[in-house]
């Protein structure tokens, strides 16, 4: 039975002493009590405690002084705990400066004090065990027949010892710097290992390689690359002991065993076992971070006939060439959708025969897997040139997604295999998702994205303008530019379909510049023909974050001749939510050039008055979702009234969008809205038609919503 852990407790408060004694004895500690610092020192010399607890404020000698004295006598190993009622940083820093292991603040939590000390006791015992283990390790190292040397902190060899074994490292001379025998980075690695060994009282080890043509080759054999292992242990604060061993044969054996176990001997690709292990790790990782991944299952169409007609040797050559092509097709550096990945790359494997697999971690979109599958198919279609003939092979590819098509290795491989056979039944040389519907959707999206890349070049975009009614002037004084895409085959495509695609692939920047340039050019044309109309252009969040935005806007204004005050840039709440100095700088720069800024779709996003009042904007657009419910929903009416009132108090111009009835317009005029926009006035029209609307006047009365009595509307 082990003896109890002995604690010396010094505190001039008798109540604290006995309360502490009771708590510690109940936890199984043996407690020795002292009422002041001098008594604590006397008892320490006679009782040999395993831990000391000192009250900071004691007569004659305080806790700091006692701690300083004990550290000089016994060193740094014994745990000394300072008990203090002072929780200021200077007092705590001073406690550690004089050698305290830890501190406990008063008032003391008596329910937890024993756990705190048990933890410190365990740490102290571990430290003693580690010290003994280091002593044993040092003795063992002294008997190992490999090259050993002692370094000082500057990397000079203080002493050296080598075995007579012919494989031992020779030629180390006392007084030389290790840089004379090893590259600078490896010398530095020894010194860094020494720092860690000294700090943590451990034996540090690391491996390194010296190439066959390296001038630092240690044993004079320059015919091949060699591998070494260094073990480093601190002797004291000035010297370290290093042991260097040649581990080339061990490394060669490990590499041979590893390659046999995890790599295909014919193609050099990872084999089935390697792929399954990798897939298990990626599934576990995807589950942990909430990401997706894809499995591509590949089969070479008609490969069996190659073996049957041309022999297995030719078939092996084809497989090797196919593996090379697949590797070039799946390089992450060439795969546009593989940006911003960390610690996880696309991996190709040969499962056996003519079957290959690919895992794509961190999958953002299903069509990314389809993009890679199409690339592989295109690569594999190229003829394989043999001596007597060209051989053309195609590839059928099945795709399964985690977690949609399975949450474990077996399910994903099975479903990817099923999708691959479905691809073969569809005529070969194609790829299929495990879900047919997903295949069709991904193909549609991918085709749309490809067409989008050519739409700008082929002049398939055009602008429409929706007029904005100025209530005070009873006419149209501005118009919002709206982009439309007239696809040559699919007809008119909604912005809701292609704008998100453009934002995902970065095309929104050139498309946005085209919209801005075209809108400014049209507005300048209106102005030249006597129509004083402002034009409003939407900016996507990506455009707003573009560092060249200000330069681009000012350049377009200068080139088109449109006065800056005739341009309004509409930005959604989401684009401004990453509130930063860059946001303010951009807005202020635009405002300083007399460009108006409107906050679009207000009320649908984050709508914080705290950030709103700080933003240098001119106007706010009330979202149409509130306007549509104006006559039927008291909450919508209350929200619109609040937005308008608040905005006016902050000095913002108010525009409401989505006006479809005269009643909505009349209520909004009563509430104080200044500009109205919606189908009640006009649908979006071509640039020449906007001129006809600008000369039209409207008469709208202001109507209190409480004066409108519609059946079942709650007013």
If DSSP states are collapsed to H, E and C, what string results for 228-297? EEEEEEECCCCEEEEEEEECHHHHHHHHHHHHHHHECCCCCCECHHHHHHHHHHHHHHHHHHCCEEEEEE
Q: Mind giving me the DSSP string for 62-90?
A: -HHHHHHHHHHHH-S-S-EEEEES--SHH
Alpha carbons 275 and 269: distance in angstroms, whole number = 10
Alpha carbons 497 and 674: distance in angstroms, whole number = 32
HEC letters along 531-550: CCCEEEEEECHHHHHCCCHH
pLDDT at site 292: 92
Alpha carbons 348 and 351: distance in angstroms, whole number = 10
For the chain (length 715 residues), average pLDDT per consecutive 10?
A: 80 87 85 90 88 87 90 84 78 85 80 78 79 70 72 87 51 83 88 91 89 53 75 90 86 82 87 91 92 93 80 89 89 43 70 92 88 91 82 91 91 90 86 79 80 91 93 89 93 90 88 96 91 91 87 95 95 70 86 92 62 82 86 84 87 91 90 92 89 76 70 39
pLDDT at site 334: 42
Intra-chain end-to-end CA distance of the chain, in Å: 86
pLDDT at site 458: 93
Alpha carbons 199 and 98: distance in angstroms, whole number = 19
- Taken in order of first residue, the domains within the chain and their CATH numbers are 6-135 (3.40.50.2300), 144-252 (3.30.450.20), 267-452 (3.30.70.270), 461-707 (3.20.20.450)
pLDDT at site 477: 87
Report yes or no: 15 and 57 within 8 Å, Cβ to Cβ: no
In the block, tokens 């997706």 appear at: 292
Alpha carbons 498 and 478: distance in angstroms, whole number = 26
pLDDT at site 603: 67
DSSP annotation of 387: S
**Nearest Cα to Cα of residue 278 among 348, 338, 369:** 348
pLDDT at site 660: 92
| 51, 114, 371 from 108: Cα distances, Å | 18, 11, 64
With residue 127 as reference, give the H or E element that holds it: helix 113-142
Q: 249: which 2 tokens?
A: 């044969």
């Amino acid at each position: 039975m082990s003896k109890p852990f002995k604690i010396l407790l010094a505190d001039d408060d008798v109540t604290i002493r006995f309360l502490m004694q009771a708590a510690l004895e109940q936890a199984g500690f043996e407690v020795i009590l002292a009422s002041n610092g001098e008594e604590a020192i006397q008892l320490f010399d006679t009782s040999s405690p395993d831990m000391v607890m000192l009250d900071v404020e004691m007569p004659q000698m305080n806790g700091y002084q006692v701690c300083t004295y004990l550290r000089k006598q016994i060193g740094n190993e014994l745990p000394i705990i300072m008990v203090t009622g002072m929780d200021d940083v200077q007092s705590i820093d001073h406690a550690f400066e004089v050698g305290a292991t830890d501190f406990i603040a008063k008032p003391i939590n008596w329910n937890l004090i024993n756990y705190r000390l048990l933890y410190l006791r365990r740490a102290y015992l571990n430290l003693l065990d580690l010290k003994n283990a280091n002593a044993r390790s040092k003795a063992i190292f002294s008997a190992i027949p490999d090259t050993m040397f002692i370094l000082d902190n500057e990397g000079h060899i203080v002493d050296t010892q080598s075995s007579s074994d012919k494989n031992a490292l020779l030629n180390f001379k006392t007084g030389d710097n290790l840089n004379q025998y090893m590259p600078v980075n490896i010398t530095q690695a020894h010194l860094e290992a020494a720092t860690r060994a000294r700090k943590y009282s451990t034996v540090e080890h690391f491996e390194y390689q010296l190439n066959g043509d390296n001038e630092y080759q240690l044993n004079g054999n320059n015919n091949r690359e060699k591998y070494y292992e260094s073990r480093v242990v601190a002797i004291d604060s000035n010297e370290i002991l290093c042991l260097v061993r040649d581990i080339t044969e061990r490394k060669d054996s490990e590499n041979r065993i590893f390659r046999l176990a995890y790599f295909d001997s014919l193609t050099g690709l990872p084999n089935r076992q390697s792929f399954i292990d990798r897939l298990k790790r990626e599934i576990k990782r995807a589950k942990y971070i909430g990401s997706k991944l894809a499995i591509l299952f590949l089969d070479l169409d008609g490969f069996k006939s190659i073996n049957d007609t041309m022999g297995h040797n030719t078939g092996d050559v084809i497989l090797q060439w196919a593996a090379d092509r697949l590797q070039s097709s799946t390089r992450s550096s060439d795969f546009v959708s593989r940006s911003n990945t960390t610690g996880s790359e696309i991996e190709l494997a040969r499962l056996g025969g003519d079957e290959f697999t690919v895992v794509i971690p961190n999958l953002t979109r299903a069509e990314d897997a389809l993009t890679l599958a199409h690339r592989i198919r295109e690569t594999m279609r190229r003829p394989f040139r043999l001596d007597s003939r060209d051989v053309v092979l195609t590839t059928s590819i099945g795709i399964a997604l985690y977690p949609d098509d399975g949450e474990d290795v077996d399910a994903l491989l099975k479903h990817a295999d099923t999708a691959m056979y479905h691809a073969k039944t569809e005529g070969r040389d194609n790829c299929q998702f495990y879900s047919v519907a997903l295949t069709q959707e991904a193909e549609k999206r991918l085709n749309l994205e490809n067409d989008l890349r050519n739409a700008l070049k082929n002049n398939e975009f055009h602008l429409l303008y929706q007029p904005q009614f100025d209530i005070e002037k009873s006419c149209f004084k501005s118009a919002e530019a709206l982009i439309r895409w007239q696809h040559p085959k699919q007809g008119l495509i909604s912005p809701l379909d292609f704008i998100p695609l453009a934002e995902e692939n970065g095309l929104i920047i050139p498309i946005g510049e085209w919209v801005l340039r075209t809108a400014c050019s049209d507005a300048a044309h209106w102005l030249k023909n006597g129509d004083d109309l402002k034009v409003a252009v939407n900016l996507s969040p990506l455009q707003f974050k573009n560092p060249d935005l200000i330069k681009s806007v000012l350049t377009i204004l200068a080139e088109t001749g449109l006065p800056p005050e005739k341009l309004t840039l509409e930005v959604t709440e989401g684009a401004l939510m990453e509130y930063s100095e860059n946001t303010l700088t951009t807005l202020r720069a635009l405002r300083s050039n007399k460009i108006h800024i409107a906050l679009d779709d207000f009320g649908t996003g984050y709508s914080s008055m705290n950030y709103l009042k700080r933003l240098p904007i001119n106007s706010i657009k009330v979202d149409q979702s509130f306007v549509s419910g104006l006559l039927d929903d008291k909450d919508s009416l209350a929200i619109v009234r609040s937005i308008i009132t608040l905005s006016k108090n902050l000095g913002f111009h108010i525009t409401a969008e989505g006006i479809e009835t005269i009643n909505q317009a009349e209520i909004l005029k009563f509430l104080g809205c200044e500009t109205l926009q919606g189908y009640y006035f006009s649908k979006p029209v071509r640039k020449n038609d906007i001129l006809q609307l600008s000369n039209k006047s409207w008469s709208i009365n202001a109507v209190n919503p409480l004066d409108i009595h519609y059946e079942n509307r709650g007013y």
